[in-house]
Structure 1
Amino acid sequence: MLSALIASAAAMVAIVGVRYLLVSGAFALATARVRPGLYNGLKPQIRREIAWSLSAAVVYGVPAGIIAWGWQERGWTRIYAEWDAMPLWWLPVSLFLYLFAHDTWFYWTHRLMHRPRWFKVMHAVHHASRPPTAWAAMAFHWTESLTGALVIPVLVFLLPVHVSVLSLVLTIMTVMGVTNHMGWEMFPRALVHSRLGNWLITASHHQRHHEEYKCNYGLYFRFWDHLCGTDRGLSRRWQQP
């Protein structure tokens, strides 16, 4: 059993690390094409971002690998693979609930990590990226990585989720984490400045967090920022292709 657990954890670490390299690499390449020169002079910073991100892949991957083993071998979790195990309407509902729960956890832990003592220990590594790049999405100190590594593993024990929906949650988490740090806005102005855009976080919104620190703490949605008065809108310097 121990060897199987180790193998599962190692496999998941590799998956998380490779996924990071592929997604961040793809958007870094897109940045070089769409915004040539945007990352000029940032090679040492990017190397640090990659190193911290790969260390974060270990922190994220180990518990995920253990839970994946437990799901397949012991029936742990409420992950299901059969389409008729739950009503079909639960698929979009569970997607929203997972994203909202993750966003809630992220908002409040993120705010906590901006308190001076917590910031110095946990969050300063991430904000050392000035400006952040497409490689910075997982550039965390291991203590911060632990907070991010807990939420989805806990949720799969609490809320039923189809394996395809869980995969979509992880994809959205990865893509939004990367695109929110690119330093330019990939989404059309019509969406960003729309009524819907007022509730969604994109690069132009998160960029302001990296400029001013004490605002715009969310990950997917602006609900908690609006409710708690921490939303300061979009970066004044946001760019659109």
Structure 2
Amino acid sequence: MDFIFPIIFSAIAMTLIVGGRYLLSSGFFAWLTQRLQPGKYDQLKPQMGREIRWSLYSAAIYGVPAGIVAWGWQNAGWTRIYIDPAAYPSWYLPLSFLLYLLIHDTWFYWTHRLFHEPSWFKRAHAVHHDSRPPTAWAAMSFHPIEAISGAIVIPALVIAIPIHVGVLGLVLLTMTLMGVTNHMGWELFPRWLVQGRLGKWLITATHHEKHHELYRGNYGLYFRFWDRICGTDIGLGDFDAGRSKRISQ
């Protein structure tokens, strides 16, 4: 039983790390919005307060399994995280990065669709959709039920699929940046990327904003793959031209 307190400490520490990461990343992009899109959030202060509160609850939910897994990696060999880059062929580094994103995206797409079923939406997902329009603070604004569904993915993956610790850090950075930038309410990336060949397969604010406006379609996290395969992709041509222009600028 000597391991109980170290695990609790690890869970608390990881909760603080996740919460701090959220405050720094969302805070930076909220500040950037204020600089580049003056007045955009002026009428949304009560909403942003709710987003921050729900997000800090989510930080604890994400932090607990992450802390348990972190302790297990360091002390019990529970995970497939490795440190030596030579442990696997060099080509496995980018492959593992893409594999983690694809699996995470698949889980997110199908659970997100489930949360749009009326009973699940009312019970949990409505919290996230209270952000209309979303702000940079909305990236982790989830009901605890939805937060749990998201919090288990990466811990499960590191137990099952080998990944270098540096690549894992890149996965977490990608998850954080895309989660925040997709909710800012304006497009960070240039029009040529969003409307070009690459933009047809990647999720950006232009794509995700439509989901928050229409409450349907565009369920992906990183990629538009599942939306396109399943017929839930809402393209620019299917969206109000004025809103498309506004968010793409």
Same fold (TM over 0.5): yes
Q: Distance in 2 between matches of 1:9 and 1:2?
A: 11
- State yes or no: 1:201 paired with 2:197: no
The correspondence for 1:179, drawn from 173, 178, 181, is 181
2:73 matched residue in structure 1: 71
Q: Distance in 2 between matches of 1:219 and 1:183?
A: 16
Greater shift, 50-59 or 228-237, is seen at: 228-237
1:162 matched residue in structure 2: 164
Q: Distance in 1 between matches of 2:68 and 2:152?
A: 12
One-letter amino acid of the structure 1 residue matched with residue 21 of structure 2? R
One-letter amino acid of the structure 2 residue matched with residue 105 of structure 1? W
Q: Distance in 2 between matches of 1:47 and 1:107?
A: 27
The structure where helix makes up a greater share of residues is 2
> SS where residue 75 of structure 1 aligns?
coil
Q: Distance in 2 between matches of 1:46 and 1:65?
A: 27
2:108 matched residue in structure 1: 106
Q: Distance in 2 between matches of 1:158 and 1:141?
A: 27
Question: How far is the alpha carbon of 1:83 from its aligned partner?
Answer: 1.1
- State yes or no: 1:57 paired with 2:78: no
> SS where residue 63 of structure 1 aligns?
helix
CA-to-partner distance for each residue in 1:26-48, whole Å, 9 max, x for gaps? 00000001110111111111000
The aligned length equals 241
One-letter amino acid of the structure 1 residue matched with residue 64 of structure 2? V
Q: Distance in 2 between matches of 1:191 and 1:43?
A: 31
1:44 matched residue in structure 2: 46
Question: How far is the alpha carbon of 1:240 from its aligned partner?
Answer: 4.0
Q: Distance in 2 between matches of 1:132 and 1:214?
A: 15
Q: Distance in 2 between matches of 1:214 and 1:139?
A: 18
> SS where residue 138 of structure 2 aligns?
coil
Question: How far is the alpha carbon of 1:158 from its aligned partner?
Answer: 1.3
Q: Distance in 2 between matches of 1:138 and 1:156?
A: 21
Moved over 3 A (4+): none
What pairs up with 1:20-39 in 2 under 5 angstroms?
Answer: 20-39=22-41
Q: Distance in 1 between matches of 2:185 and 2:120?
A: 25
TM-score of the pair, normalised by structure 2: 0.95
Q: Distance in 1 between matches of 2:196 and 2:151?
A: 32
CA-to-partner distance for each residue in 1:205-236, whole Å, 9 max, x for gaps? 00000011111000000000000000012454
Q: Distance in 2 between matches of 1:42 and 1:195?
A: 34
Q: Distance in 2 between matches of 1:47 and 1:83?
A: 43
Root-mean-square deviation (CA, aligned residues, Å) is 0.9
- State yes or no: 1:188 paired with 2:182: no
Question: How far is the alpha carbon of 1:2 from its aligned partner?
Answer: 1.1
CA-to-partner distance for each residue in 1:115-149, whole Å, 9 max, x for gaps? 00000111000001111100000000000000000
- % identity of equivalent residues: 65
2:147 matched residue in structure 1: 145
2:124 matched residue in structure 1: 122
2:21 matched residue in structure 1: 19
One-letter amino acid of the structure 1 residue matched with residue 81 of structure 2? I
The correspondence for 1:136, drawn from 131, 135, 138, is 138
Q: Distance in 2 between matches of 1:37 and 1:113?
A: 32
1:210 matched residue in structure 2: 212
1:84 matched residue in structure 2: 86
Q: Distance in 2 between matches of 1:137 and 1:39?
A: 15
One-letter amino acid of the structure 1 residue matched with residue 175 of structure 2? M
Question: How far is the alpha carbon of 1:18 from its aligned partner?
Answer: 0.2
CA-to-partner distance for each residue in 1:21-78, whole Å, 9 max, x for gaps? 0000000000001110111111111000000000000000000000000000011110
> SS where residue 135 of structure 1 aligns?
helix
